[in-house]
Amino acid sequence: MTHVLILGGTAEARDLAAVLEAKGVPLTSSLAGRVSQPRLPVGPVRIGGFGGVEGLSQWLREHEVSAVVDATHPFAATMGAHAAQACSSMRVPLLRLARPGWVQHPDAASWTWVGDHVAAREAADAVGGTPFVTTGRQTLHHHVEAWAERPVLVRLVEPPEAPLPDAWTVLRSRGPFAVADEEAIMREHDVRVLLTKDSGGRFTEAKLDAARHLGVPVVVVSRPARAEGVAEASDAVAAAAWVEDQVGD
């Protein structure tokens, strides 16, 4: 019996679930559960971790999964590694569905690309002024101590995991964002450098255009390496075609 497991609560994962549901392909979407009010895909949904490689392997076995699509966030490297290991051991076909990054953005060559969040902070220090941090709440611990007394603008979807310095300003909002609104935010808070990560996608790209219009330098954390030898697709249509190839008669 065909059963496809889609990992991730991304827009790409939701798009794929909709395509497969329309085609009548049995599926389950799995969300990590880190967002309190996630946008849910169509079809059956499970929320929460699997318990590492062993737990995921057991779930694949018990639910007779015939193909897995890793559509997790580009920076969810741990889940991606677990999926690669579990699928390899269970001999279940695996596809990586990931939105294109911003490496091909027209301004990419002018940005400062770094390998981690500490390097991003150091690059922002070289610029000075108020940084606008849009790398997510799970990255903030890299900056709290070093920037405890510095004005910092942070944008989050969920509340911070720990108290942040009094000098910091937190904006709670979820994309998509408009370029004009991003420009207004940067002006209001006198932003001097933008810290982001190579998430890609249309929902949060406006800040990059706003930074160009205002002459604000951009520091980008590069995507982590993924497991080698895994098939890849960049959109739901291509991913659905791969699924049909794997589970078709």
Q: Domains (ranges, CATH) in the chain?
A: 4-100+225-247 (3.40.50.720), 108-221 (3.40.50)
H-run or E-run covering 236: helix 236-247
- pLDDT digits 0-9 by tens, 100-117: 999 989 999 999 999 999
Q: What is the mean pLDDT of the chain?
A: 94
Give CA–CA dist 180/117, Å, rounded.
27
164 and 140 Cβ atoms separated by less than 8 Å: yes
Q: Is the dihedral of CA 136, 70, 37, 23 positive or negative?
A: positive
Give CA–CA dist 209/216, Å, rounded.
10
pLDDT band at 82 (very low <50, low <70, confident <90, very high): very high
- pLDDT digits 0-9 by tens, 166-222: 999 999 998 889 999 999 999 999 999 999 999 998 888 999 999 999 999 999 999
Dihedral class, residue 74 (left if φ above 0, else alpha if ψ from -120 to 50, else beta): alpha
